[in-house]
Structure 1
């Protein structure tokens, strides 16, 4: 069942080294808070399948086409957490679930999709699925 496991953690070199030394090839997803963490991850021979990018504002280097392109070229699916935890912890530059419902899907989830995110973590999967389906039908 190891092909069904996705390990997720912050970027800590001791954990990355242990995963590399395990030789299991288990899929891994780093939770990255800075682009420099991507450089750390690349030093290890591990099976990175996705990368959760945490950003507090829309000026983050994570959102640049260059950074997204680097991930996608490496076969890494960009993941964003749109869940609203509270007013203090910002995971997706306020392009979150609460604002999707208050402001609009195009202005939040739509922007995340346009930025290149392939996976959106949400508390509202049915709403997001409906939005994506409707958006696809419009094309």
Structure 2
């Protein structure tokens, strides 16, 4: 997905956990972080406390949505996804993408992967891999600062 691409519709899930959100609910008021993860991904589990800290620190200024992207047949077990999500305190809405429909729309090949959209729904930053939370925070803050300065 190229920078400045509009946020796609969040459709095609096999399930939603922790509530369902739509693109139209996410766009307009505040930026959105969409992060892809998988229950079989060690890097995802290592990064999750950072993502959760981020979610909690910016809860009033940033939407956070998780997308569970399976990497193998075993990764589509909904009960296991629920269990791992609970173990790692993933309380934000989780789009369960067992058929890879949203993954394909995003053209995403990585977990973990992070997509930062500005409040108008334009993709402003993409990052993949377990490291680089400082860079992600810098990018999110840049988008938040633009929003604050525009008010």
TM-score by length of 1: 0.35
More contact order relative to length (CA 8 Å, sep ≥ 6): 2
Task: Using structure 2 for the length normalisation, give the TM-score.
Answer: 0.33
